[in-house]
Amino acid sequence: MIQFIDEHRNRFTVEFICQTLKSNRQGGFISSRGYRQSKARGLSARSLGEVALTRHIAQVHEENYAVYGIRKIWHALGREGIDIGREQTARLMRLAGVSGKGKGRLPVTTGRSKGLGSSP
């Protein structure tokens, strides 16, 4: 919501956007006061921690020749004493824009038919 309001506040007032969203949607902080409070609040402790962890994941990935995937990054963080789940590691790697090196081959899913017009 905050991002949407930030993108459109140069065309419409915050109050107008919040009233329009409130009439079309239920729940949330959709009021100009709630918007301003959330902007003044800043980032949460969890968000700040994830930003630092994302940077660390990118650094670990780069130190290992940019070939480590989710599993190896997860184990490397565990060896460093960072207690993190595997799915969280995958999510933060996507945020950092890093991925493991693939094997370089495509999977064989089907075979071609033997004849030109033959039916199976």
Closest by Cα among 76, 92, 93, 74 to 84:
74
- Which residue range(s) make up the domain with 18? 2-41
State pTM to two decimals. 0.63
Q: Are residues 57 and 92 in the same domain?
A: yes
Q: How many domains does the chain have?
A: 2
Q: What is the pLDDT of residues 59-79, one digit of tens each?
A: 999 999 999 999 999 999 999
Q: Are residues 28 and 53 in the same domain?
A: no
Structure tokens at 35: 């918007």
pLDDT tens string for the chain (120 positions)? 788 889 998 999 988 888 888 877 655 667 888 888 888 988 889 999 999 999 999 999 999 999 999 999 999 999 999 999 999 999 999 999 999 988 888 777 887 777 766 555
Q: Are residues 69 and 85 in the same domain?
A: yes
CB burial of 68-93 (b: ≥16 within 10 Å; e: otherwise) equals bbbeebbebbeeeeeeeeeeebbebb
Inside any domain, residue 111: no
